[in-house]
């Protein structure tokens, strides 16, 4: 077989395998932004502050990739993701009280009763903190009504 024939067969094989590799890739993950904007969710609880995760310690949960600062944090999250995920899907807790979904800032956060709450920014967080129990109660009433509604329809 000539070198040209080898090249032709290799090209045919590659073209035949290409669709199979596309099927093996979960497109919902490959096009996903990191959850919590790349912050290690376990670090809020163990380190007392958010820390950026890295590509060496990742875990995919519900089609979202999460980054962690170390293997220990990754394993803790894998064992119980609900313990570490922000309440209200990571949307601003104060906005939820008004029936709105606004992306929460991972740096405007607070842990209340072992639950992570995010707010739009530090200014909004100060307003939310003025009446935390009342705001959580309002948000808990609103969340079931709006959680499945797309942001642009609220």
β-bridge pairing 115-119 and 105-112: antiparallel
Q: Does residue 4 belong to any structural domain of this protein?
A: yes
Q: Are 90 and 104 in contact (CB under 8 A)?
A: yes
Quote the longest CA-to-CA distance of the chain.
80
CB atoms within 10 A of CB 82: 8
Q: Does residue 137 belong to any structural domain of this protein?
A: yes
Q: Does residue 101 belong to any structural domain of this protein?
A: yes
Of 62, 85, 108, which closes a domain? Answer: 85
Q: What is the mean pLDDT of residues 54-81?
A: 97
pLDDT at 33: 75
pLDDT at 129: 97
Q: Are 48 and 17 in contact (CB under 8 A)?
A: no
Tokens of 92: 């601003």
Q: Does residue 57 belong to any structural domain of this protein?
A: yes
CB atoms within 10 A of CB 86: 21
Q: Do 23 and 8 belong to one domain? A: yes
pLDDT at 67: 97
Q: Does residue 79 belong to any structural domain of this protein?
A: yes
133 versus 28: the higher-pLDDT residue is: 133
pLDDT in tens, 23-53: 344 444 444 579 999 999 999 999 999 999 9
Q: Does residue 153 belong to any structural domain of this protein?
A: no
pLDDT in tens, 101-125: 999 999 999 999 999 999 999 999 9
pLDDT higher than 80, residue 98 = yes
Residue length, the chain? 154
Q: Which of 147, 98, 145, 90 is nearest to 119 (CA)?
A: 90
Q: Do 1 and 42 belong to one domain? A: yes
Report yes or no on whether pTM surpasses 0.95: no
Q: Do 71 and 96 belong to one domain? A: no
Q: Do 124 and 80 belong to one domain? A: no
């Amino acid at each position: 077989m000539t070198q040209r024939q080898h090249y032709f067969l290799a090209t045919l094989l590659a073209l035949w395998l290409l669709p199979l590799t596309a099927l093996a890739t979960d497109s919902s993950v490959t096009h996903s932004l990191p959850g919590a904007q790349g912050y290690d969710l376990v670090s809020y609880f163990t380190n007392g502050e958010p820390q950026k995760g890295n590509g060496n310690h990742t875990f995919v949960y519900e089609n979202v990739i999460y980054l962690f600062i170390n293997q220990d944090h990754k394993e803790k999250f894998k064992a119980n993701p609900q313990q570490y995920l922000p309440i209200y899907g990571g949307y601003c807790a104060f906005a939820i009280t008004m029936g709105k979904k606004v992306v929460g800032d991972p740096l405007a956060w607070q842990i209340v009763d072992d639950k992570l709450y995010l707010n739009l920014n530090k200014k909004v967080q100060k307003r939310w903190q003025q009446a935390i129990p009342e705001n959580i109660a309002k948000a808990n009433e609103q969340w079931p009504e709006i959680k499945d509604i797309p942001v642009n329809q609220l």
